Amino acid sequence: MTDLPAPAAPFRPAGLINRLVASTRFQAICARVPGLRGVVRREGAAIFDLMQGFVQSQMLMALVELRVLHLLADAPATAQALAGRLSVPVERMAILLQAGAAMGLLCRKGDQFALARRGAAFLAVPGLADMVRHHDVLYRDLADPVAFIKGETDPELAQFWPYVFGASGPMDPDVTARYSNLMAESQHLVAEAALAQLSLKGVARLLDVGGGTGAFLRAVRARYPGLQLALFDLPDVVAQAALPADVARHGGSFRVDPLPAGADAISLVRVLYDHSDETVHALLSRVHEALPVGGRVLVIEPMSGGARPDPQTDVYFSVYTLAMQTGRTRSAAEIASLLRAAGFAEIKRYRPNRPFITCILEARKASAGADGPK
């Protein structure tokens, strides 16, 4: 005779509030009480959105790959018209368009679909469509999320960003161009968000470390035309930088090469979260050595919410950097600790308007006798 499994223990979460919320009877009562009814409905919808999130992201991918948003930016169209143009069965195109409208990217007027404000805003963000296309790599890496979280997979995403493994020799030109272009497209938004809060008045020379093809420096030049600028990155990347002739270029790897001296401010734009604590500590020590006393370091990148988890950075960026295998999305407090360990003081945190674009920390090289490296 086969033994039957023991019945599951009743679900009783800790805490009075959680026990009430987990009670189906309590839920039924709340659904009938004015004032609570809306809360129950919104919470239920939020839970369902968590469950269907992967479907939304895949439908967004389909809209981007088929360039539906771009086509509807010109003029509204019916599912039948778009189906014929894009070689998609009419009934399937209708489902995709209806999903796009439900996600707020499109709006429906009778049988026609048009671009909604959210869809227009999506198209206006530099590099966003390319980032969505790039997500096919991350989707594959997350096909088995449990194995991924356990560290039992070999993420494909890690191969897309070879520089994070310390590549310092010649790189495949196609690979270099792919990641440089992807970074440059979105760097414009990051630069605008950072410079809207930061002031570089009083800075004579800015060195951008890991600055790719120079998007951040171009934004700085537009706001501070008199500022001397310099770029430091891998030689193959620096060679592709579209920068004015008076911007100094330095090719090298911050893992093994000293940073150029002479700057009184050094920016690290979306650099630290690509690397391990050990690599970051070594980099910050090199930054400290290259700066004069009182020199400023600017850390500009998405950051974890830390004790107050952030719905964007602690999901998207934390998982993305985990798939890269070398870095992680740190909180402002963690980065501040690394800065202090490298000898920096007067650490200032800027409150971002949109943390999913970037957060900002600024620190100064301490004078002799002040808080030094620990």
Domain limits of the chain? 50-124, 130-365
Please give the sequence-ordered ranges of beta strands (E in DSSP) within the chain, or none if there are none: 77-78, 106-109, 112-115, 205-209, 228-233, 248-251, 265-269, 296-301, 344-350, 359-365
Instruction: Please say whether the beta carbons of 16 and 26 come within 8 A.
Output: no
Is residue 181 predicted with pLDDT exceeding 70?
no
The predicted pLDDT at position 373 comes to 39
Is residue 334 predicted with pLDDT exceeding 70?
yes
Q: Which helix (H) or strand (E) holds 14?
A: none
The CB density around residue 288, as the number of other CB atoms within 10 Å, is 22
The predicted pLDDT at position 7 comes to 55
The predicted pLDDT at position 176 comes to 52
For the entire predicted model, the pTM comes to: 0.82
Give the pLDDT mean for 320-333. Answer: 93
Angle, helices 36-65 vs 90-102, to 10°: value is: 130
The predicted pLDDT at position 183 comes to 66
What are 167-170's contacts with CB under 8 Å, separation 24+? 167/234, 168/234, 168/252, 168/253, 168/255, 168/256, 170/236
Q: Is 357 helix (H, G, I), strand (E, B) or coil?
A: coil
134-154 pLDDT, tens digit per residue, is 899 999 999 999 999 999 999
Instruction: Choose the CATH number for 50-124 among 1.10.357.10, 3.40.630.30, 3.30.930.10, 1.10.10.10.
Output: 1.10.10.10
277-325 pLDDT, tens digit per residue, is 999 999 999 999 999 999 999 999 999 999 999 998 999 999 999 998 8
What are 159-163's contacts with CB under 8 Å, separation 24+? 160/134, 161/274, 161/324, 163/234, 163/237
Average pLDDT over the chain, rounded to whole? 87
Q: What values do phi and psi take at 207, rounded to 5?
A: -110, 120
DSSP codes, 222-243 = HH-TTSEEEEEE-HHHHTT---
Is residue 172 predicted with pLDDT exceeding 60?
no
Query: Looking at per-residue confidence, does 137 or 66 come out higher?
Result: 66
Is residue 269 predicted with pLDDT exceeding 90?
yes
> 37 falls in which pLDDT band (50, 70, 90)?
low
Query: Looking at per-residue confidence, does 47 or 37 come out higher?
Result: 47
Instruction: Choose the CATH number for 130-365 among 3.90.1720.10, 3.40.50.1100, 3.40.50.150, 3.40.50.410.
Output: 3.40.50.150
**Strands 359-365, 106-109: pairing kind:** unpaired
Structure tokens that stand for 135 in this block: 């997500």
